[in-house]
Structures are given as C-alpha cells and as structure tokens.
Copies of this chain bind each other. A is one copy, B any other.
Amino acid sequence: MSAIKLGIVGCGIAVKELHYPALMELQDLFKIEGVTSRTEESADACAKLFKTRSYAYDNLLDRVDAVDIAVPTHLNYEMIKKALDARVNVICEKPIAENVDTGKKIVELANSSEAMLYIAENYRHSAVYAKAKEIMKRIGKPEFVLYSRFQHMEKDVKYAATEWRKNPKHIGGFLSDGGVHDIAALRMVMGNIIRVKAFVSRARDYLGSCDTMSASLLFADGALGTYSVSYGLAGENIFCISGTEGFMKIRSDRRAIEVITEKEGKELGVEEESIEEENTYKKEFIDFYEVVNGKENSLGSPAEALEDLRVIEEAIKSSEL
C-alpha cells in the first residue's frame, strides 16, 4: 500500500498540537500535499509547520487522496461535503457536527459517497477502554457507572480562548465539544445509552455557553449511570463501574484499572491492571489509513460519532423539560 496524499484543512490547536506530531511519525503512510486555512496568516503558519504549500480548498482537493479536517465544528458539514463531492476521503475531528440535525445530513452524505468519511474520536483508540471492556466479565453483570469529568479551564487556557469556542455555534459549547469523548468512552465500555435526563448550568461567564452538567443515564442493557461534568470547576474525576461481582475504577490518567472483586458481599481482592497507552492520535491516523485501504470503518464510523453527539444533545435538551 502506498502513502496517502493528505491535505490539512484548518490550522488550530488540534492540527498543530495533536495531528502534526502524529503525522510526523507516520510519513510512510501519509504524504502531506498541502494545507488550507481560512486566513492567509494561519495558512502560511500551517504550511511552514508541515513544510509544504497552502492552497485554496478546491485546489487542495484536486491534489490529494484525503483531507484531515480540523475546523470549528459548525464548518464540518460544508468542508466534508466539498471533499466527498470531489471523491476525496476525509478524516474529520469530533464532534461530527454542531448538532444532531446537521450530523444526520453528514451521515447521509457519507453513506451515499464513494469516498470514505472517518470521524476522529481519539477515545475510541484508547487502550484503557478496550481493557475495561475485557475486564468487565470479572465484575459480573455491569449495573452502574459513575463517571465524572472536572476540567477547570481558566480564561487564558488555549481552548477557552479560541474564538469559535468563546461564541459557540455548536450545541452546548464545551458540553458537546468535550462531552462526545466521555460518551464515546462510556459507550465503548457500557454499550448504548438509550435515555438521558440532565440539568445544565454555567459556572463561568467566559466559557461562552453552559459549561456544567449533571446527567442520569439509562443503558440499553438496563444498567444505570450518572455523568457529572464541568469545564468551569475543579473536582474529582471518576470512572467507576459496579457489577454484580465487584467493581472497577479506571484511573483518571487512564494508565491503570483497579479491579475489586467480591463474592456474596465479601471482598475477594484488589488487583491493578496497568495500561500501556499509546498516542491515540497516531492510532487513529493508522486506522484511517487502513480503512481507506479497505478495512471496515468501525472506530471512525460517522454513525457512532453521531450517536455520541445525540446523547449529549438529548441531555442538554432534557434540561429544558
């Protein structure tokens, strides 16, 4: 298999800090053909970073096999459509879209296109969740998951300072931008979420939207869960799954899982499983390469990415009920 000729679309934090280092390690798989960005300044900086040239998007599409789209979320539809219409394969940063309605249109585009659309959700490539799924049988039938993410972002934190995040056109601001990661992780380990009820609030005025949510989850297999999240507050980060024969705690740095097994209420023991976590961005690009070359698209499936977003959108909308 030969290297994919890749164009870079957008030059924000994701491209510079997450994709660039990964792609530099994957030069056998991807040859960077050029970049495009909304402003000349950004395009020039990006071209310089990748040691290539910048192009207008249409011209870039003429030159490549695939594009890596990492633009403000509400621009995904337009950028994906142009690429797929030009039969250019796409790897696009999560969330799939600014809301479920647009997300559905993107899934339809992908379904009717000859080119491939891959949504990059790096949590799907994280070894810890695959390991948690594997460990699950040791704690019996999973019945409850306690999940919390407290990621206090100050005004000057790079993500909080991004213009399109300060005035978000994507539903719930950080609640969807970051939240799809959490839902992806929860769904990987616990399966589909069929209902969600939530309240949302805003702890910080500089975050541009609601930034805090408390949600109750109902999973397809009958398990329950709570999902507590804030981008404006510090707090305890938990991922703990209780089953009929014990429980497991995924350490918040994703480097270990503690398994506490029990039988008839007596603790049988505590074991810790260490996780070798690789660069998940690198893994998603490798997977994209394989998908373009014929592998089934499971981890980058647009339908799965849409489902992550659907749960968040249902949660946010439920807060108004």
Chain A residues within CB distance 8 Å of chain B: 143-144, 146, 148, 150, 152-155, 157, 195, 197-201, 203, 212-218, 222-228, 230, 232-236, 238, 240, 242-244, 246-247, 249, 260, 262, 264-265, 267, 318
Q: Determine how close the nearest CB of chain B comes to the CB of A271; give it in whole angstroms.
A: 15
Task: Contacts A152-B265, A213-B224 known; list 13 others, CB within 8 Å.
Answer: A144-B150, A144-B212, A144-B235, A146-B236, A148-B226, A199-B217, A201-B223, A201-B224, A214-B225, A215-B226, A234-B242, A235-B240, A236-B240
- Give chain B residues whose Cβ lies under 8 Å from the Cβ of A242: 150, 230, 233-235
- Give chain B residues whose Cβ lies under 8 Å from the Cβ of A244: 203, 233
Q: Determine how close the nearest CB of chain B comes to the CB of A112; give it in whole angstroms.
A: 37
Number of copies: 2
Interface centre among A212, A236, A238, A265 (most CB of B within 10 A): A236
Name 11 interchain pairs, CB-CB below 8 A, sorted by A. A148-B226, A150-B247, A152-B265, A197-B197, A197-B199, A197-B216, A199-B216, A201-B223, A203-B244, A214-B226, A235-B242
Q: Which of B199, B216, B235, B262 contacts A247 (CB 8 A)?
A: B235
How long is the Cα–Cα vector from A152 to B260 in the complex, in angstroms? Answer: 13
- Give chain B residues whose Cβ lies under 8 Å from the Cβ of A226: 148, 214-216, 226-228
Whether the Cβ atoms of A146 and B198 lie closer than 8 Å is no
Q: Which of B143, B153, B228 contacts A233 (CB 8 A)?
A: B143
Whether the Cβ atoms of A144 and B265 lie closer than 8 Å is no
Q: Closest B residue to A148 by CB, please name it.
A: B146
Main secondary structure of the interface of A (DSSP, over half): strand
Q: Determine how close the nearest CB of chain B comes to the CB of A258; give it in whole angstroms.
A: 10
Interface centre among A199, A225, A249 (most CB of B within 10 A): A199
- Give chain B residues whose Cβ lies under 8 Å from the Cβ of A148: 146, 226
Whether the Cβ atoms of B218 and A146 lie closer than 8 Å is no
How long is the Cα–Cα vector from A144 to B293 in the complex, in angstroms? Answer: 47
Q: Closest B residue to A230 by CB, please name it.
A: B144
Q: Closest B residue to A150 by CB, please name it.
A: B242
Q: Determine how close the nearest CB of chain B comes to the CB of A8; give it in whole angstroms.
A: 31
How long is the Cα–Cα vector from A246 to B264 in the complex, in angstroms? Answer: 39
Q: Determine how close the nearest CB of chain B comes to the CB of A193; give it in whole angstroms.
A: 11
Whether the Cβ atoms of A201 and B217 lie closer than 8 Å is no
Q: Which of B154, B201, B217 contacts A265 (CB 8 A)?
A: B154
Whether the Cβ atoms of B233 and A265 lie closer than 8 Å is no
Whether the Cβ atoms of B197 and A144 lie closer than 8 Å is no
Whether the Cβ atoms of A246 and B262 lie closer than 8 Å is no
- Give chain B residues whose Cβ lies under 8 Å from the Cβ of A230: 143-144, 242
Q: Closest B residue to A240 by CB, please name it.
A: B236
Residues A217 and B217 in contact in the complex (CB < 8 Å), given A144-B233, A152-B265: no
Q: Determine how close the nearest CB of chain B comes to the CB of A206; give it in whole angstroms.
A: 11
How long is the Cα–Cα vector from A50 to B301 in the complex, in angstroms? Answer: 69
Q: Closest B residue to A142 by CB, please name it.
A: B233
- Give chain B residues whose Cβ lies under 8 Å from the Cβ of A213: 224
How long is the Cα–Cα vector from A9 to B212 in the complex, in angstroms? Answer: 47
